[in-house]
Amino acid sequence: MCGIVGYVGKQKASAIILEGLKRLEYRGYDSAGVCIVQGGRLEVAKKVGRVEGLSKEAARHHFVGTTGIGHTRWATHGGVTDANAHPHVSSDGRIALIHNGVIENFAKIKTFLSGKGYTFKSETDTEVLCNLIAYHFAKEPQENDGQNRFLESVRKTLRHVEGTYGIAVLCLDFPDQIVAARKASPLILGVGDGEYILASDASALISRTQNVVYLKDGEIVHITPTTFSITTLDQEDVSPVVDKITWTIEDAELNGYAHFMEKEIFEQPQALENSMRGRFSEDGSTALFGGLNITAAEFRQIDRFMFCACGSAWHACLVAEHLIERFARVPVEVDYASEFRYRNSPLDRDTLFFVVSQSGETIDTLAAMREAKRKGYRVLAINNVVGSTIAREADGGVYQHVGPEIGVASTKAFTSQLLIGAMIALYVARQRDMSFSDGVQYVEALKSAPNLVRRALEQAPRIKEIAKRYSHYNDFLFLGRLSLFPIALEGALKLKEISYIHAEGYPAAEMKHGPIALISENCPSVFFVPKGEIFNKVVSSMQEIKARKGPVIAIVTEGCELPPGLADDVITIPECHEAVLPIVASVPVQLLSYYIAVERKCDVDKPRNLAKSVTVE
Ligand code: AGP
């Protein structure tokens, strides 16, 4: 998704903006640009490609101005071209603007503006916004009883706009000011020492300040060199709340790893410890959450759970479903957020609704939450970004506390979601039929998860060797059962999204109902083969694959003996409690996909076409 950076202060804006854009690269983009106010002009440098290329282009402009905006564009309206890159400048040259979102009524506005003599150089909806602000600015009276003409022209424009936006705007007549606004696209304001940095997320400004104001939908911020003010579209004043970001710039650095994905895979033991810290009862028999905003008695009345999410977060919901039904015996329904919001599914009165989202900005998950709230349901969020839209609009929830996840492919955030789902299952189960001793055993199992993941990570060198021998294949199946079926889906998604290999996840027994037609020596299968009641069933599925010359990689729990020659490669993970097994089993497939992608020289942290947070529909 697009990235936004703005700067008002005493330093040269261009260097700070370009550094911020580099830290937003993980959001996914295909072009980038900056606009600096200097020499009585709105000076723009923008081009298709990476921020690195933009920096070279920007150097030719010798930017010295101390006010500016910058953007990384993930194309929605209009192709990937220099002309469609942001910032856009109005045809009268007075307004420059960058935008994250979609203007749904842009065609009607474009027709109106063309009739007023405004011209367009791009195919984007954003340029329409830019010219509409210029139109209102030209109409605003010069003297308007102390109201800022620039601010009011933006406000008037946004009242006409349908759609979503996170925007930052410059005006030639107010050369040291920025006006910014948001509706469903994230924007935060960094309050520095004599400077202000606007950004799509904290990673772009954390190197300059940890003091931030999270803008809310419908708010407009007006930034000058000495102050900032926030008002609403209806001109109501908003008293800003300055929060402190709890993580530091080091958390957003590679720290010696080759990729953020590698770093975040190996950070998982610490991430899991952070996710569960302070969240177990004194007697050690159940989980405790501080921010659910729902009493134990209310929780006890719940007779059904509904989980909604997208992508990996949706896989985490499927594991939560399995564990809650297995241990708490309460029915759970899981739906893709993008489906739920239009399916109009019947929900019971005592349904508790969860959304799961690492970024807290995924537009489909946000929309599903708003739909559930419209129906009167209480919505809790499992989320990793403090101050994110989903975190702020939910009725309560659980922060993951795993620090920024920069790699587009989710790893530490995913296993943290698995852990929190397991903790919720424990909490609900202990409110019902789970005994004290079983609760204590479950808690001990969760506390052992970080060390079990550490032991699984010790297989990394072996998995790296295996990956080298499988990196040339172009089709994979991932097969697992019960709580490991969602991990099969997750393994397939990891491989797809960072190595561009076609991969599918299936329940292992389902393979006979069609997918086995894909099996040949050109299509390896990755099997999860845990010790337990279904071990022999999964072995049978493996034998059916082997009989058709399909290569087999088996992920087995310690102590499992496979028939000789059945698997071409075996990866062993520690045996563990059912509630922790999905977390531990995630590690080998994360590593396998990572090393295969590296072997194929793919852009692991910024895979093509993907964004870290999908904030457009
Ligand atoms: C996972 O590796 C992907 N990056 C993607 O599926 C992601 O999980 C999905 O877009 C949901 O993102 P969220 O958790 O921020 O809502």
Tell me the per-residue pLDDT of 18-36, one tens digit each, with 9 for 90 and over: 999 998 887 777 899 999 9
Ligand 1 mean position, distance from CA 360 (Å): 10
611 CA → ligand 1 middle, Å: 9
Atom of ligand 1 lying closest to residue 310 CA: 11
Atom of ligand 1 nearest to the CA of 410: 2
Are the C-beta atoms of 189 and 7 separated by less than 8 Å? no
* Options 2.60.40.1180, 3.40.50.10490, 1.10.357.10, 2.60.120.380; CATH of 260-599: 3.40.50.10490
Model pLDDT, residue 145: 66
pLDDT for the residue 144: 66
Mean per-residue pLDDT, 304-317: 98
Tell me the domain boundaries of the chain: 3-247, 260-599
Closest CA to ligand 1's atom 10: 311
Interatomic CA distance for residues 334 and 353, integer angstroms: 10
For 422-474, how does the pLDDT look when each residue is reduced to its tens digit (9 = 90+)?
999 999 999 999 999 999 999 999 999 999 999 999 999 999 999 999 999 99
Predicted model pTM: 0.81
Task: Summarize the confidence of residues 515-526 as an average pLDDT.
Answer: 95
Distance 294 CA to ligand 1 centre (A): 27
> What is the average pLDDT across 541-553?
95
Question: Which pair of tokens denotes residue 275?
Answer: 């996710």
Please state whether beta strands 552-557 and 569-573 pair in parallel, antiparallel, or not at all (unpaired).
parallel
Query: Beta strands of 153-263 (E only): which ranges?
Result: 165-171, 178-183, 188-191, 196-199, 211-214, 219-223, 228-232, 237-238, 243-244
- Dihedral sign for Cα 15, 29, 81, 5, please: negative
Reduce the DSSP state of residue 559 to 3 states and report it: coil
State the sign of the Cα–Cα–Cα–Cα dihedral 75, 79, 81, 87. negative
Q: How far out from the chain centre does Cα 487 lie? A: 19
Residues with CB under 6 A from ligand 1: 310-313, 357-359, 362, 365, 408-410, 497, 613-614
Q: How far apart are CA 494 and CA 483, in angstroms?
A: 18
Q: Which stretch of DSSP H or E encloses residue 589? A: helix 581-599
Closest approach atom of ligand 1 to CA 390 = 16
Share above pLDDT 70 across residues of the chain, in percent, rounded to a whole number: 99
The residue whose CB lies within 8 Å of the most ligand 1 atoms, and thus the one to mutate among 312, 411, 612, is 312
**Exposed e or buried b per residue across 175-211, where buried means at least 16 C-beta atoms within 10 angstroms of its C-beta:** bebbbbbbbbbbbbbbbbeebbbbbbbbbbbbbbbbe
State the burial class of residue 425 (Cβ atoms within 10 Å of its Cβ: 0-12, 13-18, 19+).
Answer: buried
Helix H segments across 5-62?
Answer: 13-23, 51-59
Q: Which atom of ligand 1 approaches the CA of 417 most closely? A: 14
Residue appearing with tokens 């993980």: 26
CA distances (Å), 539 to each of 521, 536, 551, 554, in order? Answer: 19, 5, 14, 10
Q: Please give the single-letter amino acid code of residue 76.
A: T
C-alpha Rg value of the chain to the nearest Å: 26
Lowest-pLDDT range of 247-261, 357-371, 587-601: 247-261
> How would residue 142 be classed by pLDDT, with cut points 50, 70 and 90?
confident
User: pLDDT at residue 275 above 80?
Assistant: yes
Could you tell me the CA-to-CA distances from 301 to 194, 349, 352, 589 in Å, in that order?
52, 10, 10, 38
Using alpha carbons only, what angle is made at residue 332 by residues 326 and 333, rounded to the nearest 5 degrees? 140
Give the mutation target among 265, 340, 359 for probing the ligand 1 site: most ligand atoms within 8 A of CB: 359
DSSP state, 327? I
User: Which of the four pLDDT bands, split at 50, 70 and 90, describes residue 536?
Assistant: very high
Report how far Cα 338 is from the mean position of its chain's Cα atoms: 15
**456: number of Cβ within 10 Å:** 26
Contact assessment for residue 609 and residue 482, using Cβ atoms and an 8 Å cutoff: no
Tally the residues of the chain: 617
* Band of residue 2 on the pLDDT scale cut at 50, 70, 90: confident
pLDDT in tens, 193-229: 999 999 998 889 999 999 999 999 999 999 999 999 9
Tracing tokens 């703005």 back to the chain, one arrives at 6
Which residue out of 201, 307, 358, 500 has the highest number of ligand 1 atoms within 8 Å of its CB and is therefore the one to mutate? 358
Is it the case that residue 184 has pLDDT exceeding 80? yes
pLDDT tens for each residue of 338-354: 999 898 888 888 999 99
Q: Higher model confidence: residue 78 or residue 553?
A: 553
Q: How far lies 85's CA from each of 14, 29, 33, in Å?
A: 17, 10, 7
Whether the pLDDT of residue 77 is over 80: the answer is: no
Q: Tell which residue, 168, 105, 81, has the closest CA to residue 133.
A: 168
Report the separation in Å between the CA atom of 306 and the middle of ligand 1, taken as the mean of its atom positions.
Answer: 19
Pairing of strands 502-507, 475-480: parallel
* CA gap 498, 595 in Å, rounded: 10
Identify the pLDDT of residue 256: 85
3-247 in CATH: which number?
A: 3.60.20.10
8 Å CB contact between 75 and 113: no
Mean pLDDT over each residue of the chain, to the nearest integer: 94
Give the residue from 498, 505, 527, 448 showing the smallest Cα distance to 609. Answer: 498
So which residues are the catalytic ones?
Answer: 2, 612
- In the predicted structure, residue 388 carries a pLDDT above the cut 90: no
Q: Is the dihedral of CA 399, 404, 405, 408 positive or negative?
A: positive
Nearest residue (CA) to ligand 1, atom 13: 357
Rounded distance from Cα 292 to ligand 1 centre (Å): 23
CA dihedral sign of residues 267, 337, 615, 232: negative
The percent helix, strand, coil of the chain (3-state, each to 5) is 40, 20, 40
